[in-house]
Amino acid sequence: MTKPTPIDEEIILDPKRYIVSETDAKGKITYVNDYFCEVSGYSEEELIGQPHSIVRYPDMPKVVFKLLWENLKQGKNINAVVKNLAKDGRYYWIFTEFEIRKNTDNGEIIGYHASRKTISKHVIEIITELYKELLTVEKSDGVDASEKYLNAYLKEKGDDVTFANLMEEIHRFY
């Protein structure tokens, strides 16, 4: 499936509804709710079996997803602000809560559950600037350099601030 060409038009989400999806351990979509289909513009049939990156907006820094996957593979749930790409090229900002799904018999990670909700314009303004800087560094010097930039940014916030902490703080206070 080819990715759509992004256009500069935001989809405004209903603050009373959640976008929900589940993936297998490798990030392939196994479940989507109706609101996910409605917002993304894809049918359930088009989404099931696809990598979740099908809705990844191209100006999202790769380092964000690197950190998400690192946390999830360590068995840690994580929250993140993400800009997604709809089938028609529009975008939508969401606050996503990623949760691990485990095999009840042996505790092995079998997949992930993500529920998403709308976020305030204030959060988008804050995170957009950071993500732009990360993407600029990433394009010129790679993902590792982008991660170093992010770590320096987090260090300025406090010695013990991590990406996960920052996302949690955004979730709590905004």
Of the candidates 110, 122, 112, 47, the one whose C-alpha atom is nearest the C-alpha of residue 84 is: 47
Any domain includes 150: yes
Whether residue 137 is contained in a domain is answered as yes
- Quote the number of domains for the chain: 1
Tell me whether residue 14 is in a domain. Answer: no
* Per-residue model confidence as pLDDT tens for the chain (174 residues): 788 999 999 999 999 999 999 999 999 999 999 999 999 999 999 999 999 999 999 999 999 999 998 998 888 999 899 999 999 999 999 988 899 999 999 989 999 999 888 888 888 888 999 999 999 999 999 999 999 999 999 999 888 888 888 888 876 765
Q: Give the CATH number, domain containing residue 107.
A: 3.30.450.20
* pTM score, whole prediction: 0.89
| 3 belongs to a structural domain | no
The answer to whether residue 131 sits within a structural domain is: yes
Q: Kindly state whether residue 13 falls inside one of the protein's structural domains.
A: no
23: tokens are: 């993936």
The angle at the Cα of 50, spanning 41 to 168, to the nearest 5 degrees, equals 80
Q: State the residue range of the domain holding 132.
A: 19-173
